[in-house]
């Protein structure tokens, strides 16, 4: 795909079963044939491993991470799989690593709470739940 002109290749754990060890092993192999600057990761949080997996990817030079406000989304072909990692949780982690995102976390939390109320879905962000009522 890279040779065909794709500017970004996203490596997805769409059912959320990856672990930091499997993320590292996969990226070790992929980085042998592709530069980190064309890679992205897409981690679902079914087993609570999305943030550790993203941290491994960041440590290995990946700088593009998919996330969704309040962890909304899901996997239509994997019953029981949770949604994407919550953007609020990723931003909180990045702030803790002193990685500048330009995202106002409080406004992001407000947006997540607003959309969850509007669509009557639970907010899956741990950061949002810690800072406000879920």
Each residue of 87-130: pLDDT tens digit? 999 999 999 999 999 999 999 999 999 999 999 999 999 999 99
Query: Is 0.85 surpassed by the pTM of this model?
Result: yes
Q: With bands split at pLDDT 50, 70 and 90, how would you rate the model's confidence at 134?
A: low
For residue 9, the SS3 value is: strand
Residue 30 reports pLDDT greater than 70: yes
Identify the pLDDT of residue 109: 98
| Residues recognised as catalytic | 75
Average pLDDT over residues 28-34: 98
Question: Which of the following CATH numbers is that of domain 2-131: 3.40.630.40, 3.30.70.141, 3.90.1310.10, 3.20.20.70?
Answer: 3.20.20.70
- Sheet with 64-66: list strands edge to edge: 9-13, 39-43, 64-66
Tokens of 65: 């991470």
In the chain, where are the structural domains located? 2-131
């Amino acid at each position: 795909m890279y040779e065909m002109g794709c500017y970004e290749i996203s490596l997805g754990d769409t059912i959320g079963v990856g672990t930091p060890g499997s993320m590292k092993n996969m990226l070790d192999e992929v980085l042998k044939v592709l530069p980190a600057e064309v890679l992205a990761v897409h981690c679902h949080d079914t087993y609570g491993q999305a943030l550790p997996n993203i941290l491994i990817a960041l440590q290995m030079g990946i700088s593009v991470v998919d996330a969704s406000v309040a962890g909304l989304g899901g996997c239509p072909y994997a019953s029981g799989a949770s949604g994407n990692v919550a953007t609020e949780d990723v931003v909180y982690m990045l702030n803790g690593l002193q990685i500048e995102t330009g995202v106002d976390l409080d406004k992001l939390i407000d947006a997540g709470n607003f959309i969850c109320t509007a669509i009557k879905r639970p907010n899956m962000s741990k950061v949002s739940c810690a800072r406000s009522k879920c």
